[in-house]
Amino acid sequence: MVSLRKNLTGVENTIFISTKGYARHAARIKIAIDPPDTLSATSKSTSMAIADYRIMGEYVEPRIAEQAKQFIERNREALLSYWNCEIDTAELIKRLKSP
Protein backbone atom coordinates (compact mmCIF):
# COMPACT_ATOMS: atom_id res chain seq x y z
CA MET A 1 0.00 0.00 0.00
CA VAL A 2 1.17 3.49 -0.77
CA SER A 3 0.18 6.68 1.09
CA LEU A 4 0.09 9.83 -1.02
CA ARG A 5 -0.42 13.47 -0.13
CA LYS A 6 -1.91 16.45 -1.95
CA ASN A 7 1.22 17.33 -3.94
CA LEU A 8 0.80 14.08 -5.92
CA THR A 9 -2.97 13.64 -5.82
CA GLY A 10 -4.59 17.07 -5.65
CA VAL A 11 -6.74 15.71 -2.79
CA GLU A 12 -6.49 17.59 0.50
CA ASN A 13 -6.70 14.37 2.53
CA THR A 14 -4.15 11.56 2.36
CA ILE A 15 -4.97 8.89 -0.22
CA PHE A 16 -4.10 5.22 0.27
CA ILE A 17 -3.73 2.96 -2.76
CA SER A 18 -3.29 -0.78 -2.50
CA THR A 19 -2.97 -3.80 -4.73
CA LYS A 20 -5.74 -6.38 -5.00
CA GLY A 21 -4.04 -9.02 -2.88
CA TYR A 22 -6.76 -11.23 -1.40
CA ALA A 23 -9.39 -8.47 -1.47
CA ARG A 24 -12.97 -9.50 -2.11
CA HIS A 25 -14.00 -6.05 -3.26
CA ALA A 26 -13.56 -4.08 -6.46
CA ALA A 27 -10.66 -1.70 -7.06
CA ARG A 28 -10.81 1.35 -4.80
CA ILE A 29 -8.81 4.02 -3.09
CA LYS A 30 -9.02 4.93 0.58
CA ILE A 31 -9.32 8.52 1.80
CA ALA A 32 -8.05 9.45 5.27
CA ILE A 33 -10.79 11.09 7.34
CA ASP A 34 -9.58 11.45 10.93
CA PRO A 35 -6.98 12.76 10.92
CA PRO A 36 -7.13 13.83 7.28
CA ASP A 37 -3.34 14.07 6.87
CA THR A 38 -2.39 10.77 8.51
CA LEU A 39 -0.06 8.27 6.89
CA SER A 40 -1.61 5.42 8.91
CA ALA A 41 -3.99 3.28 6.89
CA THR A 42 -5.57 2.11 10.17
CA SER A 43 -7.06 5.55 10.91
CA LYS A 44 -10.67 6.48 10.17
CA SER A 45 -11.12 6.43 6.42
CA THR A 46 -13.60 5.97 3.63
CA SER A 47 -13.23 4.10 0.36
CA MET A 48 -14.11 5.26 -3.13
CA ALA A 49 -14.62 2.73 -5.91
CA ILE A 50 -12.49 3.34 -8.98
CA ALA A 51 -15.24 2.12 -11.33
CA ASP A 52 -18.17 4.27 -10.21
CA TYR A 53 -16.93 6.54 -7.38
CA ARG A 54 -19.22 4.85 -4.86
CA ILE A 55 -18.27 5.81 -1.31
CA MET A 56 -18.19 3.30 1.55
CA GLY A 57 -17.20 4.04 5.13
CA GLU A 58 -16.87 7.27 7.06
CA TYR A 59 -18.54 10.49 5.93
CA VAL A 60 -16.41 12.50 3.52
CA GLU A 61 -17.01 16.15 2.71
CA PRO A 62 -18.39 16.65 -0.83
CA ARG A 63 -15.41 18.78 -1.91
CA ILE A 64 -12.97 16.04 -0.81
CA ALA A 65 -15.07 13.43 -2.61
CA GLU A 66 -14.96 15.56 -5.77
CA GLN A 67 -11.18 15.96 -5.50
CA ALA A 68 -10.84 12.17 -5.14
CA LYS A 69 -13.12 11.61 -8.14
CA GLN A 70 -10.95 13.93 -10.25
CA PHE A 71 -7.82 12.09 -9.06
CA ILE A 72 -9.33 8.78 -10.18
CA GLU A 73 -10.45 10.22 -13.53
CA ARG A 74 -6.92 11.49 -14.26
CA ASN A 75 -5.22 8.29 -13.15
CA ARG A 76 -7.65 5.39 -13.65
CA GLU A 77 -5.31 3.39 -15.91
CA ALA A 78 -2.34 3.63 -13.53
CA LEU A 79 -4.52 2.90 -10.48
CA LEU A 80 -5.92 -0.25 -12.09
CA SER A 81 -2.47 -1.39 -13.20
CA TYR A 82 -1.27 -1.03 -9.60
CA TRP A 83 -4.40 -2.77 -8.25
CA ASN A 84 -3.74 -5.71 -10.60
CA CYS A 85 -0.03 -5.89 -9.58
CA GLU A 86 1.13 -5.03 -13.09
CA ILE A 87 3.32 -2.15 -11.88
CA ASP A 88 5.19 -1.40 -8.67
CA THR A 89 4.89 1.63 -6.41
CA ALA A 90 7.69 3.56 -8.13
CA GLU A 91 6.02 3.07 -11.52
CA LEU A 92 2.64 4.10 -10.10
CA ILE A 93 4.07 7.36 -8.78
CA LYS A 94 5.86 7.97 -12.08
CA ARG A 95 2.59 7.50 -14.02
CA LEU A 96 0.40 9.74 -11.84
CA LYS A 97 -0.83 12.80 -13.69
CA SER A 98 -0.44 16.11 -11.89
CA PRO A 99 -3.49 17.82 -10.43
pLDDT at residue number 23: 81
Amino acid 98: pLDDT: 85
DSSP 54-94: -EEES---HHHHHHHHHHHHHHHHHHHHHHTTSS-HHHHHH
Residue 90, amino acid: A
pLDDT at 99: 85
Supply the mean pLDDT for the chain: 96
Secondary structure (3-state) at 95: helix
- Please count the residues of the chain: 99
pTM here is 0.94
pLDDT tens series, the chain, 99 aa: 999 999 999 999 999 999 998 888 899 999 999 999 999 988 999 999 999 999 999 999 999 999 999 999 999 999 999 999 999 999 999 999 988
Q: Give pLDDT, residue 6.
A: 96
Boundaries of every domain in the chain: 2-85
| CA–CA distances in Å: residue 21 to residues 14, 80, 88 | 21, 13, 13
